[in-house]
A = this chain, B = another copy of it.
Amino acid sequence: MGPDLEERDAARLRSIITDLLQRHDTSTERAEVAAIADAYGTLSDLGRVRFFAMLAREFWIDRASVDQSIAERQAATDDRTHREADRALRLALTPRSSRLLRLFTGLDFGVKFLVDLRADNLRLWSDPERTVDDTTALNEVGLELRAQLATLFDVGLLELRRLTWATPAALLEKLIEYEAVHTIGSWTDLKNRLDSDRRCYAFFHPAMPDEPLVFVEIALTSGTARVLAPLLDATAPDLDPDRADTAVFYSISNCQPGLAGVNLGTALIEQVVEQLRHDLPQLKTFVTLSPIPGYHAWLEATLRADDLRVHERALLPAAPERVLARLSHHAWDTDEAIQPALVALCARYLTTIRDGRALDPVANFHLANGATIQRINWLADPSPTGRDRSAGLMANYLYEPDHISARAEAFVARNEVSMSSAVRDLLS
């Protein structure tokens, strides 16, 4: 099959799919489903766009049959027939491709295939070169894929596993690959992150037992960590875990791009906190040390637009443009004078809500999970990345088990941002 899915090849694929979806539900479909998956694997990006477009256009909803179901529903006279008509209409609105996508699950590695299919779909969809029609088609299939993946990756089906230095190397290698927050530089670095005073947990799906889905790295400390460096220092002495009073969640990384929009991190934090409280009952504090990845860009825009509040302006050691220049200076990390303004503006940034979401994606994640913004730390991550994204700052988000539920609901339902009095003081 040509990689670009020319019409002749497309016709063959179309015929297999047509045949498959006409079939009744018998045991005989696997070979054909596998043939479609194999064919997909050989396609170029262009071919894949055409494949998705074929699904969205030719194997989607039969509008005539929807219209007919609507008519029948309007003719329903009693509750029972009304219910039947509702069900029939819902069925008519279920895309025919939906069944094809579900059939992939039954293949060996079929669940992984679906995850990768979604990753492809997202990547192609976000390509600005696509035509409007292709983008619509990609979006249509993508939404269906996400819905199916959300069901397949229901938290009730996932397994929480602790990863240690005794975990198979082939799996640990994936942590190095997927760590998105603070790059793992070497196996020595990795080993340090799995020391006796560290914890690492990941979710796994039973059909992809060797693939972590999302993982969190934790340091057990005495008191809350305010800066990153000691946590990543492989030469620092280990703390006896039984003497730790605090668990610092310093990195959460998603491993499967195809699961974007399927929230696994929330349940991961919830279950890990539960696990840690069970294993180490003397732990009192569960807190993150998190980057503020959108802050630098927001800061730049805010300063350039001179969109400052009175108390913020009072903290500025120089004209807004100068502050940006000083932040770009190679010795910025010794420029203590800019600290008060940067921290105060960061408090505003972290607590600003737009369209029901916190501006900062990390803040939004933790606030929606029920955390409170506890502290903003100057020079917490002075690495180049830390400066360019977070202006060198990091935030502690505090998870207090007794308040998680109420805070999450308050944030999600009413956009109420929970913060410590220290952070609140920064706002005025």
Contacts from A to B (Cβ < 8 Å): 23-28, 30-31, 61, 63, 66, 70, 79-80, 82-83, 86-87, 89-90, 93-94, 102, 104-107, 110-111, 132-133, 136, 140, 143, 151-152, 154-157, 159, 164-173, 187, 191, 206-207, 210, 263, 266-267, 269-270, 368-370, 404-405, 408-409, 412-413
Partner of A93, one of B90, B206, B368: B90
B111, A156: Cβ atoms closer than 8 Å: yes
The distance in angstroms between the C-alpha atoms of A63 and B85, with both chains bound, is 11
Partner of A31, one of B89, B154, B405: B405
Partner of A267, one of B27, B70, B140: B27
Closest to A30 in B: B270
List B contacts of A370 (CB < 8 A): 26-28
List B contacts of A413 (CB < 8 A): 23-24
Partner of A409, one of B24, B90, B133, B143: B24
A94, B83: Cβ atoms closer than 8 Å: no
The distance in angstroms between the C-alpha atoms of A224 and B83, with both chains bound, is 50
Closest to A144 in B: B87
Q: With A61-B86, A89-B93, A111-B156 given, is the CB distance from A412 to B24 under 8 Å?
A: yes
Q: With A105-B154, A166-B168, A169-B168 given, is the CB distance from A136 to B66 under 8 Å?
A: no
List B contacts of A404 (CB < 8 A): 27-28
The 4 A-B pairs at the shortest CB distance, nearest first, are namely A105-B156, A206-B206, A28-B405, A24-B412
Q: With A90-B94, A166-B170 given, is the CB distance from A207 to B409 under 8 Å?
A: no
A114 to chain B, nearest CB (A): 9
The distance in angstroms between the C-alpha atoms of A132 and B79, with both chains bound, is 11
Question: A27-B369, A30-B270 provided; 13 other pairs, C-beta below 8 A?
Answer: A25-B263, A28-B370, A28-B405, A66-B86, A90-B90, A102-B151, A106-B154, A151-B151, A159-B206, A166-B168, A166-B171, A167-B169, A169-B187
8 A-B residue pairs with CB within 8 Å: A26-B408, A27-B266, A27-B270, A31-B405, A90-B90, A157-B207, A165-B169, A166-B210
The distance in angstroms between the C-alpha atoms of A387 and B356, with both chains bound, is 70
Closest to A107 in B: B156
List B contacts of A156 (CB < 8 A): 104-107, 110-111, 207
A171 to chain B, nearest CB (A): 8
A368 to chain B, nearest CB (A): 6
